C-alpha cells in the first residue's frame, strides 16, 4: 500500500543529513561537556557550535539560548518561570484562546494560584486583534504570551505589532511567543519582533525529537524549573543532549538555506490539493486563511463529512492527516481552536481535517490523496 504523510505539523521526518550528523556526534562527542578533560572539551565545542547556529537563526546571542527537551518545556519555562519571578510586580497575564496546551495548561496552573489571565478572543480566521490586546493591557500585566502561528489552522498573529507597542510604551510585561510551528517556515528575528522569549522545537523542522530551545533575552531572568547541575548557565540543569543539539543545528542550517522556497512549496501543495478537490466537486471551506498563514497547514471544513470517520478511511488508504492538533487527537473533545473561531455548535467542529505538508511531499502523493478522497466520498 502507498504511504502518504500529510501530518508535518504533528511532527516531521528527520532529514537524512541530520541523521548522519547525529551519528557522528554520538561517536565523536560522548564525553560530558561539563568534564574538563579532552573528551569533555570535544563535546563542549559541539555544544558551542550548535548553540551559535541556533542563536544566529533568530538574531540572538548564544548566551540567550536555553536548550530544553521540547517546545512544551520551553513554553512551560516561559510561562511558569515568569510568574514565579515576577509575582511582586503583578498577577495579570494576557494570552489567547487558541494557544497550544503547553501554554494553556501552564496558565491554568497559574490561575489556580491566584493569577488572572485574559484570553484574547479570535475572529473567524483565528486571529486576535491588536486593539483588543491594547485594551487588555494593564499596569499589573507581567506577561503577554501569544503564539506566532497556530498549529491547527496555521493563522499567524500580529506579533510584531504587539512587540512594538510593548517596547514603545516601555511596559514591564515580558513578551513570549510560541514559535514552534512557525520557526521552520518563517524567518524570525527576535529584535525586529520585539519579543523577550521565544519557544522552538526541533522535531517540527526535520530535526530529532527530544530537543528544543527557549530564547531568553538578556533583559529576562527566569528561575530554572529543573534544578541540579549548573548547565545552561544555571538556568536548566541536566547533562546536555549533544547529538540532539548537533542534529537540531544541522536541521536549522538546512532550513535556512531555502526557507522561503520551502514555505512556497508548502503553500503550492495546499493550492494543488484544493484545485484537485474543486475538480472532483468537493464542497469545502478553509479554516483559517491563506494571507496570514505560516504556510504548511491547510485546515479544511469538508461540508457534511464526519471528520473522525473520514480520517480512518484515509488511514486505511495509507494517508496520514489529522483532525486537530496531535495532542488532542484520540480525545473526543472538540478543538478549542475551532470553537474559539466559530462557536461550539458550528458544523466545522466535527467536519474539519488538517493537512500539513513538508519534506518529501510530492505531487504524486497529492494526486493519490485527491483520488482517494473522491473514492471515499463516492462510497
Ligand atoms: N506549541 C505548538 C504551537 C505546537 O504545535 C507544539 C507541538 O505540536 C508544541 C508547542 C509542543 O512542542 P513539543 O511537541 O516539542 O513539545
Could you tell me which of 153, 146, 175 has the C-alpha nearest to residue 163?
175
Judge residue 293's burial from the number of C-beta atoms within 10 Å of its C-beta, 0-12 exposed, 13-18 middle, 19 or more buried.
buried
Whole-number pLDDT of residue 210: 98
Whole-number pLDDT of residue 331: 55
Q: Find out whether the beta carbon of 100 lies less than 6 Å from any atom of ligand 1.
A: yes
For 276-312, the pLDDT digits (tens) are 999 999 999 999 999 999 999 999 999 999 999 999 9
Mean predicted lDDT score pLDDT of the chain: 96
Residue nearest to atom 9 of ligand 1 (CA): 71
8 Å CB contact between 358 and 14: no
Cα separations (Å) of 180 from 33, 76, 105, 203? 27, 13, 16, 9
Output the CA 201–ligand 1 centroid distance in Å. 7
- Mark whether 202 and 281 lie in a shared domain: no
* CATH number for 82: 3.40.640.10
8 Å CB contact between 210 and 241: yes
For 87-99, the pLDDT digits (tens) are 999 999 999 999 9
pTM of the model: 0.97
- Mark whether 271 and 228 lie in a shared domain: no
Pocket test for ligand 1, best of 68, 72, 107, 208 (most atoms within 8 A of CB): 72
Please report which confidence band the pLDDT of residue 67 belongs to, taking 50, 70 and 90 as the band edges: very high
| Rg of the Cα atoms in the chain | 21
DSSP 286: E
**12 Cβ contact list (under 8 Å, min separation 6):** 184, 203, 204, 205, 206, 358, 359
Name the domain boundary from 257, 285, 313: 257
Residue nearest to atom 12 of ligand 1 (CA): 71
Selecting among 20, 327, 344, 364, the annotated active-site residue is 327
Output the CA 159–ligand 1 centroid distance in Å. 18
Output the CA 368–ligand 1 centroid distance in Å. 29
List the 352-356 sheet strands across, edge first: 284-287, 297-302, 352-356
Residue nearest to atom 5 of ligand 1 (CA): 151
Whole-number pLDDT of residue 332: 58
Please indicate whether residue 327 is annotated as part of the active site. Answer: yes
> Distance (Å, rounded) from C-alpha 126 to C-alpha 132?
14
> Distance (Å, rounded) from C-alpha 356 to C-alpha 240?
31
8 Å CB contact between 359 and 185: no
- Mark whether 132 and 60 lie in a shared domain: yes
Coil, helix or strand at residue 56: helix
Name the domain boundary from 257, 292, 315: 257
| 21 grid coordinates | 550528523
- Mark whether 8 and 68 lie in a shared domain: no
Looking at the DSSP bridge assignments, the partners of residue 117 are 93
Residue nearest to atom 8 of ligand 1 (CA): 10
Domain that residue 363 falls in: 4-13+258-378
Place of cell 462510497: 379
Name the domain boundary from 221, 241, 257: 257
Q: Find out whether the beta carbon of 102 lies less than 6 Å from any atom of ligand 1.
A: yes
- Mark whether 311 and 249 lie in a shared domain: no
- Mark whether 196 and 291 lie in a shared domain: no
- Mark whether 237 and 111 lie in a shared domain: yes
185 pLDDT exceeds 60? Answer: yes
What dihedral angle (degrees, nearest 10) is formed by the CA atoms of 270, 273, 278, 279? Answer: 150
> Distance (Å, rounded) from C-alpha 17 to C-alpha 40?
25
DSSP 31: S
Whole-number pLDDT of residue 108: 98
- Mark whether 38 and 86 lie in a shared domain: yes
For 227-254, the pLDDT digits (tens) are 999 999 999 999 999 999 999 999 999 9
Q: Find out whether the beta carbon of 178 lies less than 6 Å from any atom of ligand 1.
A: yes
- Mark whether 294 and 263 lie in a shared domain: yes
> Distance (Å, rounded) from C-alpha 78 to C-alpha 296?
26
- Domain count for the chain: 2
| 319 grid coordinates | 494517508
Q: Find out whether the beta carbon of 208 lies less than 6 Å from any atom of ligand 1.
A: no
Output the CA 103–ligand 1 centroid distance in Å. 9
- Mark whether 100 and 86 lie in a shared domain: yes
Amino acid at each position: 500500500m502507498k504511504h502518504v504523510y500529510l501530518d508535518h505539523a504533528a511532527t516531521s521526518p528527520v532529514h537524512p543529513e541530520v541523521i548522519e550528523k547525529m551519528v557522528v556526534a554520538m561517536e565523536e562527542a560522548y564525553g560530558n561537556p561539563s568534564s574538563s578533560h579532552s573528551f569533555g572539551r570535544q563535546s563542549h565545542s559541539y555544544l558551542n557550535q550548535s548553540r551559535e547556529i541556533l542563536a544566529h537563526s533568530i538574531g540572538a546571542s548564544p548566551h540567550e539560548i536555553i536548550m530544553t527537551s521540547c517546545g512544551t518545556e520551553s513554553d512551560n519555562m516561559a510561562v511558569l518561570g515568569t510568574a514565579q519571578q515576577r509575582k511582586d510586580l503583578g498577577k495579570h497575564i494576557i494570552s489567547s484562546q487558541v494557544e497550544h496546551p503547553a501554554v494553556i495548561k501552564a496558565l491554568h496552573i497559574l490561575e489556580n494560584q491566584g493569577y488572572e489571565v485574559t484570553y484574547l478572543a479570535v475572529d473567524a480566521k483565528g486571529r486576535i486583534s491588536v486593539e483588543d490586546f491594547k485594551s487588555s493591557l494593564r499596569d499589573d500585566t507581567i506577561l503577554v504570551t501569544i503564539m506566532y502561528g497556530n498549529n491547527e489552522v496555521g493563522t499567524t498573529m500580529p506579533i510584531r505589532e504587539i512587540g512594538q507597542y510593548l517596547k514603545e510604551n516601555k511596559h514591564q510585561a515580558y513578551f513570549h511567543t510560541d514559535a514552534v510551528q512557525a520557526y521552520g517556515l518563517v524567518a524570525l528575528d527576535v529584535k525586529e519582533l520585539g519579543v523577550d522569549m521565544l519557544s522552538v522545537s526541533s522535531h517540527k523542522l526535520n530535526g530529532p525529537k527530544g530537543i528544543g530551545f527557549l530564547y531568553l533575552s538578556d533583559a529576562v531572568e527566569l528561575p530554572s524549573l529543573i534544578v541540579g547541575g549548573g548547565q545552561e548557565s544555571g538556568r536548566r540543569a541536566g547533562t546536555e543532549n549533544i547529538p540532539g543539539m548537533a542534529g537540531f543545528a544541522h536541521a536549522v542550517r538546512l532550513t535556512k538555506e531555502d526557507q522561503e522556497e520551502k514555505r512556497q512549496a508548502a503553500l503550492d501543495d495546499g493550492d494543488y490539493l484544493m484545485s484537485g478537490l474543486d475538480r472532483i466537486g468537493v464542497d469545502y471551506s478553509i479554516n483559517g486563511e491563506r494571507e496570514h498563514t505560516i504556510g504548511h497547514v491547510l485546515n479544511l471544513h469538508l461540508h457534511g463529512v464526519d471528520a473522525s470517520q473520514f480520517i480512518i478511511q484515509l488511514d486505511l488508504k495509507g494517508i496520514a492527516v489529522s483532525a486537530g492538533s496531535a495532542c488532542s487527537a484520540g480525545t473526543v473533545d472538540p478543538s478549542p481552536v475551532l470553537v474559539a473561531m466559530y462557536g461550539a455548535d458550528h458544523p466545522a467542529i466535527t467536519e474539519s481535517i488538517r493537512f500539513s505538508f513538508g519534506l518529501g511531499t510530492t505531487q504524486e502523493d497529492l494526486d493519490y490523496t485527491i483520488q482517494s478522497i473522491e473514492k471515499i466520498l463516492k462510497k
